[in-house]
Amino acid sequence: MADWEPAFRALLASRGGALRSYAYLLTGDASTAGDLVQEALTRVFSRRRIGGDVNELEAYVRRAMLNQYIDSRRRLRRWNATRHLLVDVPHHDDDRLAVADEVRRALATLSPKQRACVVLRYYEDLPVTEIAGELGCAEGTVKRHLADARAKLATQLGVTEESTP
Amino acid sequence: MTDLQDLLRATAAEGSNTVDLAEDAVANRIRHRRTRSQRLTVVGTALVAAAVIAGTTWAVHPGDGHPPTASGPSAAAVPPRIVTSDYAGPSGMEALLVATLTADANGCVRAQAGQSEVTLVWPRGYTVRGDSQSFEILDAIGKVVARSGVRISIGGGGADRFQNTWTGRECATGGRLWMVGGISARR
């Protein structure tokens, strides 16, 4: 077994679920989420020197996923603007699945950076300062993205401004 | 359920189990890339050795006494120009390009790798100073990261097409586009 492989297996064993959830919330689609995690893992572990610290490796993989998500969403923007004309969005009668669908649909109306800010702030629980660092932008920009995203989500999901600090 | 945090957690829990990590397939892909990277390193080393030998020969027989220029002694000096991305960070891609920076007749900075020329897409905030025959690339905080005529290793990867959000479209006149990641001097 190559020297990078134990760290790779340990990362997936301990943090695979968290990486799956993160990718799923960013992309809203299991297949695209799978591609996102796989490509990020490939990029990080293809580097010449790999440390063995799982937390550090997870941070690298998350950063790679975020960069890749924002870059790829730019390329997909045109496609997404017309996709709804071509395919039917699946509909679920089960309440739990219906809520998840509703959230995915609402998240899909956000711009890539707004969506990333929402996931980092409200799912990963990161403070605005750290989100700004992750996205390479000013804190004010993050706050603006969050405010815009909250306004959109408030309408679609019925979440209140008070419940989304 | 009106709390956004709860909604996101419920959505993640619902969908994440269907996300396939394809652990073994990814491990195979990593193995393949690492092997390819090692081969590139060997080729790069050979190129450096060739450059050192060529440099030594030039030092012993310096020709007409002029220092090496970026685009040859006949090119008129015009302001150099670069293509920049709208993203401030490095590209995040991991491929390696070993090349020398040159500028064409219009001042557009390119990477000369063997017989082929590649248009480089630098991160947002990068600038160039000097003229087309001798120039320096500076990062967003003004630190020199590369110079013309010097062989360097450019991390990054190819881009499919020129994006509307990039600057310097006039310099993307066909050929390959390379999103610049890390830069290091070849020794």
Q: How far apart are CA B51 and CA A26, in angstroms?
A: 46
Is residue A132 within 8 angstroms of chain B, CB to CB? no
Residues of B in contact with A38 (CB under 8 A): 21-22, 25-26, 29
Topology of domain A91-165, CATH: Arc Repressor Mutant, subunit A (1.10.10)
- Which of B2, B11, B17 has its CB closest to that of A159? B2
Q: How many C-beta atoms surround the C-beta of residue A3 within 10 A?
A: 9
Q: Given CA atoms A22, A25, A29, A30 in this order, what sign does their dihedral have? A: positive
**Confidence class of residue B71 from pLDDT cuts 50, 70 and 90?**
very low
Query: Does the structure show a pLDDT above 90 at B158?
Result: no
Q: How far apart are CA B43 and CA B92, in angstroms?
A: 23
Which numeric CATH code is attached to A1-87?
1.10.1740
Reduced to 3 DSSP states, what percent helix, strand and coil does chain A have, rounded to the nearest 5?
Answer: 75, 0, 25
Q: Domain boundaries in chain A?
A: 1-87, 91-165
Using the 8-state DSSP alphabet, how is residue B161 labeled?
S
**Confidence class of residue A16 from pLDDT cuts 50, 70 and 90?**
very high
Q: Domain boundaries in chain B?
A: 19-65, 83-185
Question: What torsion do the CA atoms of B125, B95, B117, B56 make, to the nearest 10 degrees?
Answer: 100
Q: Which CATH architecture has domain B83-185?
A: Beta Barrel (2.40)
Using the 8-state DSSP alphabet, how is residue B121 labeled?
E
CB interface of A with B, residues 11-30, below 8 Å: 12, 16-17, 19-25, 28, 30
Helix A139-157 with B4-16: angle, nearest 10 deg: 80
* CA B1 remoteness from chain centre: 48
Is residue A60 within 8 angstroms of chain B, CB to CB? no
Do B126 and B136 touch, CB atoms closer than 8 A? no
B163-179: pLDDT as tens digits = 888 888 888 877 788 88
Query: Does the structure show a pLDDT above 50 at B102?
Result: yes
Beta-bridged to residue B98, according to DSSP, are B153
Contact call for A123 and B8, based on CB within 8 A: yes
Is residue B39 within 8 angstroms of chain A, CB to CB? no
Query: Does the structure show a pLDDT above 90 at B89?
Result: no
Give the residue from B72, B157, B156, B173 showing the smallest Cα distance to B119. B173
**Sheet hosting strand B127-131, strand order edge to edge:** B127-131, B134-138, B144-147
pLDDT score, position A121: 93
